[in-house]
Amino acid sequence: MSILINENTKVIVQGITGRDGSFHAKKMIEYGTKVVAGVTPGKGGSKEHGLPVYDGMSEAVKATGADASIIFVPPAFASDAVYEAADSGVSLIIIVTEGVPVHEMLKLDRYLRSKNIRYIGPNCPGLISPGKSKIGIMSADIHMKGSVGVVSRSGTLTYEVVYNMTKAGIGQSTCIGIGGDPIVGTNFIDALTLFEADPETTAVAMIGEIGGSDEEEAAKFIKTMTKPVVSFIAGRTAPPGKRMGHAGAIISGTSGTAEAKIRALNEAGVEVANTPQGIADLLADKILAGAKK
């Protein structure tokens, strides 16, 4: 089983005629994702990869019955694209775009939650359920179908962790890159809740980083979970007050440090790997222990 998406999810690519939108739409189609249309204002009536292109989301959803959208729209226009997707009737929006202003995301977040729309991102790689569907920019060939859920703030670390998992023969149920901005639509607890409820996910790998308190909050939730969770926290050597990569990865005083996050996770019974590659070793131990019960 998978969470949020499956082989029946119908996807619209907003910005499909742009460089990134076109490239990743093709990759999603090749993987088997049901990409049903694209949207680019002013390009309605044209085709991209054999798919119809519409001027607006409402028209595209009405014609295709799509239930998900992925945003490949530049930062200056991304907010408008998200509002348009929200008003079209889709239930899932993935915002790949990086550089969406925080004050705009605050307004978008309130609007999308008022309409009960799940969104992932911004500044995220999307998600993949191996063998079923991928909506995003992840490299499909490093993934393998299995029973471990993966949730991460970092796209690059997701790829590294998944590569090593697959290399060790540990498959994934769904991998979600939630994004590294201060305001994101789906956080660790949201993803962990979905994995906990998924009968075919047996364990979870959580990849965090410095900045904010999401990992500490997740640690409290993990205490209520029945499934084992392992983790890695990036940024152990980052100096206080120094932003490292993501907009949300900044330490303020003693808040958001790697040490504080690791301590909270350890107290919740979560083993934390010293390296991204170490997650595969921790998972192998958990899976072996589960098999012996």
- Residue 24 among the catalytic residues: no
Q: What does DSSP assign to residue 211? A: S
Q: Give which of 131, 2, 16 is closest to 64, Cα–Cα.
A: 16
The fold adopted by the segment(s) 139-292 is: Rossmann fold (3.40.50)
The answer, as to whether pTM is greater than 0.85, is: yes
The fold adopted by the segment(s) 10-120 is: Rossmann fold (3.40.50)
Contact 140, 128 (CB under 8 A): yes
Fold: same for 10-120 and 139-292: yes
Burial of 103 (0-12, 13-18, 19+ CB in 10 A): exposed
Half-sphere exposure of 199 (CA within 13 A, CB side): 0
What's the sign of the alpha-carbon dihedral 20, 23, 24, 29?
Answer: positive
Domain ranges of the chain: 10-120, 139-292
Q: What is each CA distance from 150 to 7, 130, 134, 194, 250, in whole angstroms?
A: 19, 12, 14, 11, 23
pLDDT by residue for the chain (293 residues), tens digit each? 689 999 999 999 999 999 999 999 999 999 999 999 999 999 999 999 999 999 999 999 999 999 999 999 999 999 999 999 999 999 999 999 999 999 999 999 999 999 999 999 999 999 999 999 999 999 999 999 999 999 999 888 999 999 999 999 999 999 999 998 999 999 999 999 999 999 999 999 999 998 888 999 999 999 999 999 999 998 776 666 555 555 554 555 555 788 999 999 999 999 999 999 999 999 998 776 664 44
Sorted by sequence, the CB contacts under 8 Å of residue 23 that are 6+ apart come out as: none
